[in-house]
Amino acid sequence: MAEPRGTELELTAAAAEWHAYPQPLWRTHPKYWPDIWRRSIQARIVTGTLLMSTVVLLLVGWVMMSQVTDGVLESRRLSAQAEAFAQLASLTRNINAADSTAVNQQLSQLVLGSNRPGLYDVVLSPIGNSGSNATRRTGLVESDSVPQVLQSSVNSNDSKLWDTYTVIKYTDGRTAPGLVIGSQLRVDSTRDKYAVYFLFPLTAQQETLDVVQRALVTAGLLLVVLLGAVAWLVTRQVVTPVRMARRIAERLAAGKLEERMQVRGTDDLARLAVSFNKMASNLQRQIRRLEDLSRLQRRFVSDVSHELRTPLTTVRMAADLLHENRDEFDPMARRSVELLQNELNRFEELLADLLEISRFDAGAAALDLEDVDLRDIVSRVLENHETLLERKGCEVQLDMPEPCRAQVDARRIERILRNLIGNAIEHSEGLPILISTAYDDDAAAVAVRDHGVGFRAEEAEMVFSRFWRADPARARTTGGTGLGLSIALEDARLHGGRLDAWGSPGEGAYFRLTIPRRPDVALAGSPLPARPADAVRVITEKSLVDVGAPYQKLTGGEEQ
């Protein structure tokens, strides 16, 4: 079962590495763009540079366009005022020089004479009841091109020129932006007053401003693209070594200790790569050394365990002979023989556990699967503990309403339950023990609950450690080796399952074994809760220890 798990890990790592390096933005679905934004420093820097440069260019373009527009229009306004002033003076002289009886007849000719086709048009309208009420104009210009506000200003003041910007309308439907300059015209001979308006089209100026605006927009877009490309190139030079370091670190974490970064140049990034490679080399040496030490330790334990079996067999034969004839000895010798027999039993259990641990360490443990009912295994274990139950005066309550079948190695599952139930009996302080079984479509579970001394939250993390005991000074009835829960944990892992522990001082302990019902099923939860239902105290995160599934995160069906 280890091989499929390893394959799954490799596929998961490959998928994670693929997601760590997103495709180009234009080849990525828009729904993944937020993920690219969160993962990629380069994307955030380039995007930020583009946004800031766009804002700056918009402000600069607006300021420049405003200054250019003001300059062009102000220049045209000054020249138009000079032209209008000159034409107004000429028109005044001509009207005053004309015969007073023929002023009205000559006004149209004088207005037409002051016109400069293509440069400006003239509109002349009487003020009040002066002379004829007809409005005279040149060209195709409409008289309503003059804004009412300008007309009011001209009619109210005869001492100055007034001007404003407007839209000049023509009788043929054309319109054009323009400048209107107006003033009063007084006829000395008749005392009549007329309003004269000079309408200067600003078509050429508008075309000039359009050209300037297009040039600014084009230059701004090119500058934004250029800044984006520069930001992309600069960040790429920085981000690429960082990504390489991350990729190498992930491979080192996956066990590929020979991976190193490429060193190019002598800059800061190159020195970072050199330091990273030195760190990787030191880690490799330390890990190799620890692996060698661990290998030597496992080999030593295995060799010692095997070598001790031969002298132990001889000692066992002699001890059995003495134990069979213990009634012939005096009381002191008889007691010594019984102690010798008990300690030899414990020694044999310790050797058997050490040999089993060495098999797990060497990866030589294998499963012999068969379809069994977990309730039958629980019953066999309870039968083996009948004597201890009677001695402790412990009541066992069973919550096993339905058959709980699974394909498991019955010998290993029985060993797990033997350890869990034996520990519960030993530490129950004579209080009842509850054993529960449950199953769902994918998993089967067995939980053992006692109400004894329990253990503290900080001790829950060490409960599966080898040779660890919550209270080394406490008298032991069963004579355990300190390896039972460690072996139980390895057996659970070998099945692809998990072993959870919960405890609280004064409230007892709770152990839950969860295993897949079939070898091709990956656990996604447990049919039994992660802590007992009768636990009343506040449960901290350290009070619940999940050590049975180190290669996958199990979610769903969990009671937190």
Q: Convert the pLDDT of each residue in 483-518 to its tens digit.
A: 778 888 888 888 889 988 888 888 889 999 999 999
Instruction: Name the token pair of 150.
Output: 């300008």
Average pLDDT over residues 158-185: 87
> What type of residue is 24?
P
Tell me the residue length of the chain: 560
* Whether 141 contacts 115, CB under 8 Å: no
* pLDDT band, residue 325 (cuts 50/70/90): confident
Give me the phi and psi of 2, to 5 degrees please.
Answer: -70, -35
* pLDDT band, residue 444 (cuts 50/70/90): very high
C-alpha span between 486 and 7 (Å, rounded): 26
Measured between its terminal Cα atoms, the distance across the chain in Å is 29
In terms of pLDDT, which residue wins out, 446 or 346? 446
- pLDDT (0 to 100) of residue 552: 32
471 to 156, 474, 476: CA distances (angstroms): 109, 5, 10
Average pLDDT over residues 517-525: 87
Name, of 234-243, 335-344, 446-455, 469-478, the range with top average pLDDT: 446-455
* Whether 349 contacts 481, CB under 8 Å: yes
243 to 230, 246, 254, 261: CA distances (angstroms): 19, 5, 16, 11
Rg (the chain; Cα; Å): 50
Task: For 452-477, write each residue's pLDDT tens digit.
Answer: 888 877 776 678 777 766 555 444 44
Q: Hey, how many other C-beta atoms are within 10 angstroms of the C-beta on 133?
A: 9
- pLDDT (0 to 100) of residue 275: 86
Task: For 56-69, write each residue's pLDDT tens digit.
Answer: 999 999 999 999 99
C-alpha span between 123 and 185 (Å, rounded): 12
C-alpha span between 46 and 209 (Å, rounded): 32
Give strand pairing partners of 176.
Answer: 168
| 557 Cβ contact list (under 8 Å, min separation 6) | 440, 524, 525, 526, 527
* pLDDT band, residue 33 (cuts 50/70/90): low
Name the least confident of 81-90, 277-286, 288-297: 288-297
In terms of pLDDT, which residue wins out, 367 or 73? 73
For residue 89, pLDDT over 90 is answered with no
Convert 255-319 into a string of H (helix), E (strand) and C (coil). CCCCCCCCCCCCCHHHHHHHHHHHHHHHHHHHHHHHHHHHHHHHHHHHHHHHHHHHHHHHHHHHH
Give strand pairing partners of 545.
Answer: 501
Average pLDDT over residues 373-391: 89
C-alpha span between 9 and 15 (Å, rounded): 10
Which of 477, 474, 424 has its CA nearest to residue 454? 424
C-alpha span between 305 and 311 (Å, rounded): 11
* pLDDT band, residue 536 (cuts 50/70/90): low
Average pLDDT over residues 525-551: 58
Q: Residue 212, Cα to own-chain centre: how many angstroms?
A: 46
List of E strands, 188-241 = 192-201
Task: For 188-198, write each residue's pLDDT tens digit.
Answer: 777 778 888 88
- DSSP class of residue 141 equals B
In terms of pLDDT, which residue wins out, 457 or 331? 331
Task: For 44-59, write each residue's pLDDT tens digit.
Answer: 888 888 889 889 999 9
In terms of pLDDT, which residue wins out, 26 or 487? 487
Name the least confident of 172-181, 307-316, 351-360, 435-444: 351-360
For residue 144, pLDDT over 80 is answered with yes
C-alpha span between 222 and 29 (Å, rounded): 27
Give me the phi and psi of 451, to 5 degrees please.
Answer: -120, 35
- pLDDT (0 to 100) of residue 12: 40
How are strands ordered across the β-sheet holding 136-137?
136-137, 121-126, 192-201, 175-187, 162-169
Q: What percent of the chain has pLDDT over 90?
A: 14
Q: Exposed e or buried b for every residue in 154-168, given b needs 16+ CB within 10 A?
A: bbeeeeebbbeebeb
For residue 150, pLDDT over 80 is answered with yes
> What type of residue is 59?
L
Average pLDDT over residues 11-36: 51
Q: What percent of the chain has pLDDT over 70?
A: 79
* Mean pLDDT of all residues belonging to the chain: 78
For residue 526, pLDDT over 50 is answered with yes
Q: How many CA atoms lie within 13 A of 172 on its CB side?
A: 4
For residue 335, pLDDT over 80 is answered with yes
Can you list the domains of the chain with their CATH numbers?
Answer: 20-257 (3.30.450.20), 268-360 (1.10.287.130), 366-546 (3.30.565.10)
* pLDDT band, residue 438 (cuts 50/70/90): very high
- pLDDT (0 to 100) of residue 513: 93
C-alpha span between 447 and 399 (Å, rounded): 10
- pLDDT (0 to 100) of residue 443: 92
